[in-house]
Amino acid sequence: MKLVRYGPRGRERPGLIDADGVLHDLSAHVSDLDGAALAPARLAGLRRLAPKDLPTVPGRPRLGVPVAGVGKIVAIGLNYRAHAAAGHTLPDEPILFLKATSSLCGPREPVRLPPGATQGDWEVELAMVIGKRARRISAERALDFVAGYCIANDVSERSYQFDRGPTWDKGKSCDTFCPLGPWLVTRDEVPDPQALDLWLTLDGESMQRANTADMLFSCAEIVAFVSRFMTLHPGDVILTGTPPGSGFLRAPPRFLCHGETMRLGIAGLGEQRSRVVSGG
């Protein structure tokens, strides 16, 4: 299933995208697409619904963050071989950092660079959304705890990340620095998360193009690893790292400018489109 939240900010309704790309309303069956709605039994119930029996939503409403009430965003650094090899030593285990949940925004909304930002950067990433509580689980069982997958853009202000102390979080957590969506694709429709093409363009110019097969640590390994250090709850989001092509590693470096447009996508998971706005 492709699950969405649509409508005005703060008043989003749950929806489903059918095989023909038509949006249907789910609010008669679930109040919101929060952690409780992502439990395996609840998703199984939604999966039994026939889209033709659901109300059709007219027009092109705003799409919000596809998951409500995200408790935490855990991100993985340097997780693609080609990206990590460009000036870094390959890590022995996943590098973890957090993005503030206040950085979340919809997949078609502006990315606002904070006042004084000079090194705004892009990172297309596969995101996993947790569907049931995970604590110290094995990699062999880890994907059973994933409700589904979606696209994330791990937007960064590199001057905050690298030039203002040793922690990354301040350069990763500005408002609008985590566009998520357009929809959540349930795990049953993604048989192999390690075989997905992903890409990003800036004003039509290709910046990133790779496949999740290049990950150093697989999705299953990441979920298991994170669960050793913190309990994962339904609705939590994990960003799995970005392939090469980010602006700060280009020669010469290239950073986001006011008025530019980022487009990014992952095979089977849809596409984002974000306009860059300065001084937000």
Distance from C-alpha of 12 to C-alpha of 23, rounded to nearest angstrom: 14
> 80-102 burial by CB neighbour count: b if 16+ within 10 A, else e?
bbebbeeeeeeeeebbbbebbbe
Domain limits, the chain? 2-53, 73-278
- Tens digit of pLDDT at every position of the chain (280 positions): 999 999 999 999 999 999 999 999 999 999 999 999 999 999 999 999 999 999 999 999 999 999 999 999 999 999 998 765 666 678 899 999 999 999 999 999 999 999 989 999 999 999 999 999 999 999 999 999 999 999 999 999 998 887 776 777 889 999 999 999 999 999 999 999 999 999 999 999 999 999 999 999 999 999 999 999 999 999 999 999 999 999 999 999 999 999 999 999 999 999 999 999 998 6
Contact 157, 242 (CB under 8 A): no
Distance from C-alpha of 72 to C-alpha of 181, rounded to nearest angstrom: 16
Residue range 73-278 in CATH 3.90.850.10: yes
| Residue type present at position 31 | S
